[in-house]
Structure 1
């Protein structure tokens, strides 16, 4: 079971498309992008075992009260085992 904190500002996609009513200037957009990148860095390099998300997109980035990015929707994610570390796949994953 995964438990998420409440994130009232919806998805990054909703914000960028104007559906959420939240307007972000370019500085805020950069901060959100860097926050999402930090989340992915944690999953790839610091989580034990590492986690590969495999479905990262703007609708899977949630924004909290302070517009801090939160990586969400781990339905297609994969735990990276030691035997997977040297493996390269050409199989496409993700959703539209």
Structure 2
């Protein structure tokens, strides 16, 4: 079953879409799904990863509304059927 990423702000602009479906299913990891996303939208890579290939600290990765980097197993979090993934850039307000 394919997995859909929801992209926000400049990430959606770089990908050319607010929703991108990737070939990742239950048992794969969020990291696997992220790699698939970057295969589909390679312009995101420089915005999501730093020069060392590490996820930029200000990028938020959510699975079903939960930040996997804070509340789950990070990019090693396993996907389940029906998961919704989202990628957010830094959010600021004032």
User: Would you say same fold, with TM above 0.5?
Assistant: no
Select the structure of larger CA radius of gyration. 1
TM-score of the superposed pair, with normalisation by structure 1: 0.30
